[in-house]
Amino acid sequence: MNDYELTPTQENDIGMMSRIHAESFDDAWTGPMIRRILAMPGSAGLVARAGRRWSIAGFTILRTVADECEILSLAVGSEHRDRGVGALLLDGAIVRARALGANKLFLEVAEDNEIARRLYHSRGLVPVGRRPGYYIKKDGTSAAAVTMSRLLEEAVGASA
């Protein structure tokens, strides 16, 4: 994991973030969409840089409103997956959310996304809600959205 470094998102990361988002999700976010999301009040972006500083392996975007922080997106480029980058980003998001004054972290994840759900569970997030048929996939099938949440006052597992 020493090959990756977390830093705040910069303007010139947006193109690669869009590419990673497109290969990770059916509803691809364009560069202008990501720029608008990052400009929303309370938004913050983190990227995991790989090797050369312009190259990013993955990113997460958070939004804090009052004392609650939502992970709006978290994705790792396919060539960097299963090397701990998702966990690094999630741990960074938890640290950042605490620093922004949030006492609760939540997100939505597709019910059939077992890898992501396991990652979130490993950092103390538990399912608190379910929206059937929320995600419509390119092949026409759908998946429920599961809301996962945890409090941030106490350190849990690797997020300490």
Q: Alpha-carbon torsion 69, 44, 85, 156, what sign?
A: negative
Identity of the residue, 38 or 148, whose beta carbon is nearer to ligand COA in the bound complex? 148
Measured from each CB, the residue nearest to ligand COA is 86
Task: Give the H/E segment covering residue 109.
Answer: strand 104-110
**Touching ligand COA, residues 2-41 (CB under 6 A):** 24
Task: Give the H/E segment covering residue 61.
Answer: strand 56-65
Asked whether position 122 contacts ligand COA by CB under 6 A, the answer is yes
Residues in the chain, how many?
Answer: 160
Asked whether position 119 contacts ligand COA by CB under 6 A, the answer is yes
* Phi, psi for residue 51 in degrees, rounded to 5: 60, -115
Number of residues engaging ligand COA in binding (CB under 6 A): 18
Binding-site string for ligand COA from residue 57 to residue 86, where x marks contact by CB under 6 A and - marks none? -----------------xxx----xxxxxx
Asked whether position 113 contacts ligand COA by CB under 6 A, the answer is yes
What is the nearest approach in angstroms of ligand COA to the Cβ of residue 16? 13
Nearest to 152 by CA among 73, 109, 97: 97
* Phi, psi for residue 62 in degrees, rounded to 5: -115, 155
Q: Which residues bind ligand COA (CB under 6 A)?
A: 24, 74-76, 81-87, 109, 113, 115-116, 118-119, 122
